[in-house]
Amino acid sequence: MEKILEVNDLELSFHTFAGEVKAIRGVNFDLKKGETLAIVGESGSGKSVTTKAIMRLLPESSSEFKNGQILFNGKDLTKLSDKEMQKIRGKDISMIFQDPMTSLNPTMTIGNQIMEPILKHQKVSKTEARKVAVDLLRLVGMPKPEARIKQYPHQFSGGQRQRIVIAIALACNPQILIADEPTTALDVTIQAQILELMKDLQKKIDTSIIFITHDLGVVANVADRVAVMYGGKIVEIGTVDEIFYNPQHPYTWGLLSSMPSLDTAEAKLYAIPGTPPDLLYPPKGDAFALRSDYALKIDLEEAPPFFKVSDTHSAATWLLHPDAPEVEPPLAIVERMKKFPGSRYYEGTEGGTY
């Protein structure tokens, strides 16, 4: 498939009073046309910052690109001027935010808010833009769109507001849609509706989605591929099945083990011990080593490179090095791996269903 976005060796720092915070420390991934890439990781792992860097929405005064490229259709977004970037934002790349209660302008009718990107990026009259806005509202499942377009955000519920935010993001049929935890602030029943809506719309307008979340249940539902971020780096990337059923990085093991599931007999839910690294003073080796039960001596000294597991799957852990000792992953993970053809614990016959 055609690559639409390529992030190469991206490094980004924030300048704070305490010093330089290395929020992104060499991130590589690509996004293919029409696919959904989920970026997962705990708070502070750099997932939001990565996407805000793609949109160039970070404060210019305190953030700095140290290295790397963000190639969108061959153009390096890190090098574009503000003016050039404004032509891309909302038209080619758009974004859905976490909290629908605060992401709409309270003093502007939702019609005007939806029409804004249309009027900005397309040569259409106000009447036509209004028509598009009504169609968009209908598309995202808002009843009586003609009447509601004149209303203000406070007259809508949280789920409805997120639908409006989605309508704004889709206004110009973007090639990339970045969804930054779009369901985190919604209650569970609404979450499911919004996820269904996004999947539906993706099919209709054929857009690529970068989906940020820390909810692995959501990932399994929406994503084609998954990138696991930790301490400003991607530690493992692969297809959904590869990440869920053949994880390689100890951090991914931890993440998956701390996800409650119906078939685990254990009464206690696993929690990864310790706290995320301080990116003011990032650790020398593998950032996860200090919290990991599987850390090797070299993990503390040298950051692991990416080892290929398959064509679509790679992980940055020394455990995949040919000289590394064989370790036994946690029980829950072994159970998962048993279902995955190609993993070393696979129990079924080749080509079986999983």
| Residues contacting residue 56 through CB under 8 Å, at least 6 positions apart | 77, 78, 80, 85, 89
Strands (DSSP E) found in the chain:
3-16, 19-32, 36-40, 63-72, 75-76, 93-96, 176-180, 208-213, 225-230, 233-239, 307-308, 314-315
**Least distance to other proteins from the beta carbon of 212, Å?**
14
Q: Are 37 and 29 in contact (CB under 8 A)?
A: yes
Distance CA 147, CA 111 (A): 10
Complex with other proteins: residue 100 or 238, whichever CB lies closer:
100
Shortest Cβ 72–other proteins spacing (Å): 14
Least distance CB 64 / other proteins (angstroms): 17
- Kindly write down the DSSP assignment for every residue of 1-62, as one continuous string: --EEEEEEEEEEEEEETTEEEEEEEEEEEEEETT-EEEEE--TTSSHHHHHHHHHT-S-TTT
Nearer Cβ to other proteins, position 152 or 270? Answer: 152
Report DSSP state, residue 292.
-
By C-beta, is 16 or 102 nearer to other proteins?
A: 102
- CA–CA dist 207, 93 (Å, integer): 10
* Residues engaged in binding other proteins (CB under 8 A): 55, 57, 82, 86-91, 94-95, 97, 99, 102-108, 116-117, 120-121, 152, 154, 165, 168-169, 171
CB of 345 to other proteins, least distance (A): 44
Shortest Å, Cβ 186 to other proteins: 15
Cβ 17 to other proteins, closest distance in Å?
A: 13
